[in-house]
Structure 1
């Protein structure tokens, strides 16, 4: 317990010091003759109790009390006034200023001991209360942080439900598109067959027509009919139409086949099976399906180059892996577009395999990832996009899919020449299963 004795008389200080040291060896006594130094000594030495004389030159005791109480960090310091005065007005002023107790001069040892005992108890209680208050503040901050985490988790679950609902809707829409698409594809195939038959019949007509024309060369009335037919063929570009008919039907069939493939890809990505539902699938096929979806987003500003090595099939949820690849590609495309550059951007996708795993690497020549946030990009809700332009869940979900659901690894960094890279490895088999 640290006690500061303040008195302008050195003799009084020495007497008080002797009393205090005789009472307890645990008291650390500090003496002060200059009242102007009191606040500094209290702060520097973390004083617990101040024994303060009232009548002093330069600055009296009531002024010292007022100065100490203005510093709210010193509110718990116990101030006991020492005075030979006995008028009630002096006591009232001292207690109004913030004194805690008083002791009359000359000092009575028993009275001093009793006053100090009460002051020590009050000071210790104040320290306990301060610690409890500090702990409550810390617990309150912890609760706020926990509440924030709970709210974020709740938001994550809502977003997850929304994504699942959107996936179901997308699958339903794809199914609805597939039905008329099937009719159109079938009809085009039939039309193609019909067109071929029409062409064959027309060929027979034209050969027969040529023969008849030779027979009727001397008949002017018959010749007029042949002339009308030739004029009609030229007017309606009949030869061109017949030549282009097969090409048009072929292009239409290929267009329908492409639409059908896109719809099937959307259905695969929107599939809402169980999260642990897996099947053997090829990584390259999943990459190609993802490219089919993002192709339109990138075609006017970005070139996408692929180096897909032959890789073995792996046990995985191809829909989830497709979501990861889409997230990374869409982020790269958006980052490159945000640069508003005059030249075309570039994205490179590479796949390959090691002894027991396959890997995927995606590189871009965009702005890269700021070094200060590189370690946070897989955290839930972290995003560098403006408010309303992203939830910050894409890469977090991707990390969960690769690391937790496929026992793989996903890392990211910046290329030496600019742009970002993402590297993913996935084991060929999940725990508890045999590899093909």
Structure 2
């Protein structure tokens, strides 16, 4: 359907030609067809006119002084504002080489002089209709991308919800199953300790009353090293008490970490939640055959109680700390981490390695693996939690996609690509905060969380 039969607003056509007669002819012809026409006698005027009002189509002569049509088109295509405007070349040149060059610099059509009015109008209408279709296609692509992003976000949220429910049930079950036997052990340790003490007193009384025991008793005492047993029994009882206390601490940390019975917002101590998360990760921080123990450097500020979804915030701490440990272990495997381009001697002298504030072990060929946790209250009344590692760092090309659902930098089977996207949803969408990553190859990575101290009413 011709454009002049469609109920659209007048299309703006910019005609660029250094010959005034051509401008008048084209202007009169297009105006009668219902177009709004603007005129430019040279390339500089054309570029200025495009910046003032963006045309729908440009008719561009090739042979012009100072700046020919090819140069004008190149400048138009290099500008983000004008790069999508269709350019139709009009020229007396009808050589194949000229046409190829016109299309090469970004032209969409080519009309040879002398031109026919109907041909010019038809070609303009075709380009306008193509442009309209292109815009509609871009809009549909945008809507499809939005729908895809929403679907991914819904999937991530569903997975997160299912994980939280499963975690709460698992922790509640574990705590119940562990609490029963450990309470039994802990309660009986008191009696066992007293029984042992009574038996030791009895043996010592026998030693005093019967200093000359029979040869058989003397031999047994020698074989079992009775004196050592008597001295070490209290140490054993003390170790069992400490072990039982530790198990109870871990169970309590599990319960606090999951907070399965605290789904609503409440005021929490951020440092306690970080400590509970670290308890959960103790097994990953210990020394292994491939690396020394990972040191946790705590740089805690003076934080008030923070209103938040505690269990979900704990999930973020878990994701970030796990990622930091993964990065350190990846760096140990590649041996390309921590000190960047510094030599061992330079690293020891300057102490400038990893994230800059972490210490260095001069007795090792590699820097001591460390994770630094920094907290503070910002000037905007936000709580800031920064978790930095001295691993190999993250390439710039990957950092922009870190929080995309299902994107991961880890090998196949090592990561789901959900940890950081879930963290983003929890921090940005549920807590009106922000989460960022700063990193460079060889210099470790730092993730920074900021959330308001008090949440607005939903």
CA distance in 2, matches of 1:33, 1:322: 71
Equivalent pair of 1:315/1:428 in contact (CA under 8 Å): yes
Judged with a 3 Å threshold, the aligned counterparts in structure 2 of structure 1 residues 30 and 326 are, in CA distance, closer, same or farther, namely closer
Aligned to 2:185: 184
User: Of 228, 241, 244, which residue of structure 1 is paired with 2:229?
Assistant: 241
Aligned to 2:374: 350
Q: Which has more helix, going by share of residues? A: 1
Runs of 5+ unmatched residues, structure 1 = 2-20, 53-77, 79-115, 214-224
Moved more, 315-324 or 227-236: 315-324
Normalised to the residue count of structure 1, the TM-score between the two structures is: 0.64
Normalised to the residue count of structure 2, the TM-score between the two structures is: 0.61
- Residue 167 (str. 1) matches residue 230 (str. 2): no
Secondary structure of the corresponding residue to residue 276 of structure 1: coil
Deviation, 1:126, is 5.0
Judged with a 3 Å threshold, the aligned counterparts in structure 2 of structure 1 residues 317 and 194 are, in CA distance, closer, same or farther, namely farther
Aligned length: 338
Equivalent pair of 1:365/1:419 in contact (CA under 8 Å): yes
Moved more, 246-255 or 358-367: 358-367
CA distance in 1, matches of 2:409, 2:95: 57
Deviation, 1:334, is 0.5
Equivalent pair of 1:415/1:421 in contact (CA under 8 Å): no
Judged with a 3 Å threshold, the aligned counterparts in structure 2 of structure 1 residues 154 and 361 are, in CA distance, closer, same or farther, namely closer
Judged with a 3 Å threshold, the aligned counterparts in structure 2 of structure 1 residues 390 and 305 are, in CA distance, closer, same or farther, namely same
Deviation, 1:246, is 1.2
- Residue 251 (str. 1) matches residue 239 (str. 2): yes
Aligned to 1:313: 305
Aligned to 2:146: 146
- Residue 291 (str. 1) matches residue 278 (str. 2): yes
Deviation, 1:51, is 9.9
Aligned to 1:277: 265
CA distance in 1, matches of 2:452, 2:328: 31
Judged with a 3 Å threshold, the aligned counterparts in structure 2 of structure 1 residues 206 and 156 are, in CA distance, closer, same or farther, namely same
Deviation, 1:36, is 6.5
Deviation, 1:329, is 1.4
Secondary structure of the corresponding residue to residue 399 of structure 1: helix
CA distance in 2, matches of 1:136, 1:431: 39
User: Of 87, 105, 109, which residue of structure 2 is paired with 1:46?
Assistant: 109
Which string of whole-angstrom CA distances, capped at 9 and with x for unpartnered residues, describes residues 179-213 of structure 1?
22222222333322222222222222332223xx4
Deviation, 1:397, is 2.8
Runs of 5+ unmatched residues, structure 2 = 3-24, 34-58, 60-88, 336-364
CA distance in 1, matches of 2:305, 2:90: 81
Where does 1:82-161 land on structure 2 (aligned, <5 Å)? 126=126, 130-131=130-131, 133-161=133-161
Deviation, 1:154, is 3.6
Aligned to 1:64: none
Aligned to 1:333: 325
Judged with a 3 Å threshold, the aligned counterparts in structure 2 of structure 1 residues 143 and 278 are, in CA distance, closer, same or farther, namely same
Deviation, 1:168, is 2.7
